Amino acid sequence: MPRTWMWVFVLIACLSVVEDLKAATYYVACDTGDDANEGVSESTAWKSVSRVSSFGFVNGDKVLFKKGCTWKDASIKISRSVEFGAYGVAATAPQLMGATSARNWSSLGSRGISFTQAAIEAGHPGLKEILIVHDQKHGKFYDKVRALESLDSSGKFFHDVAASTLYVSPLEGANLQQDIHFSSKPHIFEFQQVNVERVVVDGLHISFANEYAIGFWYQSSGTRNGSLKVANCTFTGNAYQAIHIGGTNSFRDVDILNNTITANGNEGMYIGYVKGSEEGEVVTGLLRISGNTIGGQGFGWRSDGPGSAANGEGIDIKKGVAAAIIDNNTIFDLNGFFGIGVQSSNVVIEKNSIRDLYMRDAPPESSIAGIIVDAWDSKGPTIVRGNRLSVRSANGIVIRGHAARRPSVEIYDNDISVQEPYFPFAFTSQNITNTLIRNNRTRGGRAGLWVQQPCCQPVNVEFHDNDIRDVPAPVVTAQTMSGGMRVYSNSFCLKGAVGAGQNSAVPNNTFSGNCPPPIQITPPSNLFVR
């Protein structure tokens, strides 16, 4: 290397070190802070989130929000490697709200309707429609209507976008100035079109964003970032996703750990490469989603049923993830198609607890399920093991898609409980290839296995050594079993008498009408991605 260029590189390295050396910790306090302060100590804390949003941070800076504080109308643009966290001794986490309240309300005649001017920051793609009106006193999201004349009962709202006017019909006893919050910001933390090396969001309460709480929104900026860690946070009432990483942007590694996501309008998490039919990766290293609690009453409140584009799934992983571990999450009470859904391969889904999915007017063939594996990618296998599923309005595990590797999908050591007319396991009408289902324990459902009419004959599919109880039939298929699909060595305990034709219909299996308790198998403790 020429000496001149060597000195250039040395200079660049030195400048980088100098910048990192200038990194500082900044404090924000809603009660004792002042935006005129330096912000570098608890005694000189800033007061507002707008001060944080407008400040020019350097890589390595930390921003700590005071526990017990709440900030309304909060939005922070991320363009540097910054860590966001909490400080103080209060029991409650600092809350950043993407919503605001209004002081000036006017009455509209005698119908009990009030209105106010409602400014809202445009989201993507230019969305300025308010999606959230939340009544803090009653703990309720108001229902959105599309016309003023439809405000025919309390607990509803209408937003006149052209006139920037919000109309509400409040519930009895609600204080408009104090109890009613409406969304004003599309997001709380949004990554800008700048590459960052490391961002941490830890220990915050993030609520009422009009779109997502943290991440990108279908930006096509093509940034290439380092690591993102979101841990120990509570997400409440965000209209789209709590965490959304999409577009053509990427991270090397993403850790989403020990968060609680409640009352979400759409998915809890959405991660995937989005640019038409173009292939790309949104997580180039490892995605780890572990120890999160997702769901609760009202989760998926934007859903309009199977035909809706807005449903309350728990974890939705699309294409574009190089490798993922999804483990030890609790997912419950969702108004969505699935608890966990993955399209990328090289994924381990392990030791998760999923219960109670609701999807109005969603029949079994709609593929509603506790877990959906859509194995189109062939970077590595998808392993589903040691999970506990108890779902009464969904199938247990649904498998679909053409998997090129052998085996590409391995499903074993899961405990599944379902109710009719749903199934513990179901293959959809798409290709069925290179799938192994073994050593699972199920109870209930219309049959132990359901095979819809596929486009093609199954290839390299095995279903064996499963303990299937309390079903009226062992297997329901829309086609004749072929040599490409083997069902053997399973134990079927059927409701009612065992028919003489069972063995001939599904040979090489065991049938019984007496169902002893299932053998409990301790799930494996090792985690790996092959």
Per-residue model confidence as pLDDT tens digits over 206-237: 999 999 999 986 666 788 999 999 999 999 99
Q: Beta strands of 336-472 (E only): which ranges?
A: 338-342, 347-350, 353-357, 369-374, 382-385, 388-390, 395-400, 409-412, 415-417, 425-427, 433-438, 441-443, 447-451, 459-464, 467-471
DSSP character at residue 44: G
Answer yes or no: are the C-beta atoms of 86 and 204 closer than 8 Å.
Answer: yes
Q: Hey, is 78 helix, strand or coil?
A: strand
Answer yes or no: are the C-beta atoms of 314 and 300 closer than 8 Å.
Answer: no
Q: Please identify which residue in the block is written with the tokens 């007496």.
A: 514
DSSP character at residue 371: E
6: left (phi over 0), alpha (psi -120 to 50) or beta: alpha
Answer yes or no: are the C-beta atoms of 472 and 448 closer than 8 Å.
Answer: no
Task: Band the pLDDT of 374: cuts 50, 70, 90.
Answer: confident
- Stretch 265-272: mean pLDDT, rounded? 93
Q: Please identify which residue in the block is written with the tokens 């989403």.
A: 256
Distance CA 110, CA 169 (A): 11
Distance CA 486, CA 480 (A): 12
The per-residue pLDDT for range 324-349, each reduced to its tens digit, is 999 999 999 999 899 999 988 889 99
| Neighbour tally for 370: CB within 10 Å | 33
Query: Sign of the CA dihedral 280, 283, 285, 289?
Result: negative
pLDDT at 3: 56
Distance CA 181, CA 196 (A): 33
Task: Band the pLDDT of 530: cuts 50, 70, 90.
Answer: very low
DSSP character at residue 59: T
What pTM value is reported for the model?
0.91
pLDDT at 520: 54
Distance CA 16, CA 59 (A): 9
- Stretch 166-187: mean pLDDT, rounded? 95
Distance CA 145, CA 129 (A): 12
Distance CA 45, CA 64 (A): 10
Q: How many degrees, rounded to 5, is the angle at CA 228 between CA 224 and CA 230? A: 155
pLDDT at 381: 87
pLDDT at 7: 54
pLDDT at 32: 95
pLDDT at 483: 72
Phi, psi of 231 (to 5 degrees): -140, 145
Task: Band the pLDDT of 484: cuts 50, 70, 90.
Answer: confident
Distance CA 269, CA 294 (A): 9
pLDDT at 17: 46
The per-residue pLDDT for range 290-312, each reduced to its tens digit, is 999 999 988 998 887 777 778 89
Q: Please identify which residue in the block is written with the tokens 């409440």.
A: 236
- Stretch 10-35: mean pLDDT, rounded? 74
pLDDT at 517: 65
Q: Hey, is 201 helix, strand or coil?
A: strand
Distance CA 252, CA 23 (A): 23
Answer yes or no: are the C-beta atoms of 25 and 40 closer than 8 Å.
Answer: yes
Edge-to-edge, what's the strand order for the sheet holding 165-169?
A: 106-108, 113-117, 165-169, 156-160, 143-144
pLDDT at 265: 92
The per-residue pLDDT for range 64-108, each reduced to its tens digit, is 999 999 999 999 999 999 999 999 999 999 999 999 999 999 999
Task: Band the pLDDT of 377: cuts 50, 70, 90.
Answer: low
Average pLDDT, the chain: 88
518 has pLDDT over 70: no
Joined together, the tokens standing for residue 445 give 């459902």
Task: Band the pLDDT of 395: cuts 50, 70, 90.
Answer: very high
Buried b (16+ CB within 10 A) or exposed e, 412-422: bbbbbbbeeeb
Answer yes or no: are the C-beta atoms of 504 and 477 closer than 8 Å.
Answer: no
- Stretch 114-138: mean pLDDT, rounded? 90
Distance CA 273, CA 224 (A): 13
Query: Which residues are within 8 A (CB) of 95 and not within 5 positions of it... i.e. 6 or more apart?
Result: 69, 70, 71, 204, 205, 206, 207
Phi, psi of 160 (to 5 degrees): -85, 100
Q: Across the strands, what pairs with 467?
A: 441, 491
How many residues would you count in the chain? 530
User: What percent of the residues of the chain are helix, what percent strand, and what percent coil, each to the nearest 5?
Assistant: 10, 40, 55
pLDDT at 480: 64
- Stretch 5-25: mean pLDDT, rounded? 58
- Stretch 390-410: mean pLDDT, rounded? 84
Q: Hey, is 119 helix, strand or coil?
A: coil
Distance CA 225, CA 240 (A): 23
- Stretch 380-392: mean pLDDT, rounded? 93
Distance CA 458, CA 461 (A): 7
Q: Which of 479, 478, 475 is nearest to 488 (CA)?
A: 475
The per-residue pLDDT for range 416-467, each reduced to its tens digit, is 999 999 999 998 877 778 899 999 999 999 999 998 876 777 788 899 999 9
- Stretch 505-518: mean pLDDT, rounded? 78
- Alpha-helical (H) ranges within 378-524 are 502-505
Q: Say which range, 19-23, 60-64, 142-146, has the weakest mean pLDDT.
A: 19-23
8 has pLDDT over 50: no
Phi, psi of 270 (to 5 degrees): -135, 120
The H or E element that residue 6 is part of is: helix 3-21
461: left (phi over 0), alpha (psi -120 to 50) or beta: beta
14 has pLDDT over 70: no
**Cα end-to-end span (Å), the chain:** 40
